[in-house]
Amino acid sequence: MTITKTIEYPIYTSIGNSNKLTSLTVNIENKNTSHIVHRTVVKQMADKREGTASTKTRSEVRGGGRKPWKQKGSGRARAGSNRSPLWRGGGVTFGPRLRSYNKKLNRKEWRLALATVLYHKMKHTIVVENLTHLFQNPKTSIFIKTLVILDIPQDKKILLILDNINPHNKNLYLSARNIFNLNIMTTSNINILDLLSADHIIISKEALNIIQEIYNDNI
C-alpha cells in the first residue's frame, strides 16, 4: 500500500543560512517498507556480480582422444579418456559456468523504493543552492570549509547529489572528489545502496528539481 508524503527540506546557502523551504512530494510504501527496499538492494548487489567464473567440462578440455589402455586384460579399471573428471588434468564436474546474476525489478517498484529511502533519510538530508558559485577554480579546501559551515562532520559518509557534471559545476566536482568518505553522483545514476550507506546527504537545488520532475509520476 502506498501513501503520499511531502518531504520538506530547508534550503541552505553556501554560507550556511537557511531561510527558505522546499518540498518533494513522494509516494512511499507504507506497510512493506523493508521488503521493497530489500528487493532493490538485492537486485543492485546482484547486478554488480560479473558471473565470469567458468570451468571446462570433459568435452572442452584439450586432448583425451585416444583410449589410455585397452578395455580388458590390463587389470586396471576401464578408462575411455584421460580427460575424464576422475583424472588429474581432466574436466570439472558441475563446475561454475558463465552466467548472469541480473535480477528483474519493475521500474515503478524501484522508484517506490527510492522514494521510501529518501523519505526516511529526510532528517539527514540538506538542500544547498548556489553551491557552484564558490568554485571559480578547483579548490578542495573551499569545499571542506563549506562542510564545516553546514555542520557536516568529515569523518562520516557523505553523499553529494548533483544535477549533472557539466562545465558549470565541473570545478565543484573537482573540488569535492578527493575528499575521503565523500561520494559524488548525479540524478541519472542515483541508487539505493549509496543512499542507504550515507550518513549525510547533500542535494543541490537543481538536482532536487530534476528528481521531482523525473519521478513525479511514480515517486
List per-residue pLDDT tens for the chain, 219 residues long: 677 878 888 888 777 777 777 877 777 767 777 888 999 999 999 999 999 999 999 999 999 889 999 999 999 999 999 999 999 999 999 999 999 999 999 988 888 888 889 888 888 998 988 887 778 888 888 889 888 888 888 889 999 998 887 777 888 888 888 888 899 998 888 899 999 999 999 998 888 888 888 766 554
In total, the chain counts a number of residues equal to 219
Q: Is the distance from CB of 124 to CB of 159 less than 8 angstroms?
A: no
Q: Which three cell numbers stand for residue 80?
A: 575411455
Q: Which three cell numbers stand for residue 216?
A: 513525479
pTM: 0.78
- Distance, in Å, from the CA atom of 102 to the CA atom of 45, rounded to the nearest integer, reads 9
- Distance, in Å, from the CA atom of 194 to the CA atom of 152, rounded to the nearest integer, reads 17
Residue ranges of domains in the chain, CATH in brackets: 2-49+103-215 (3.40.1370.10), 50-100 (no CATH)
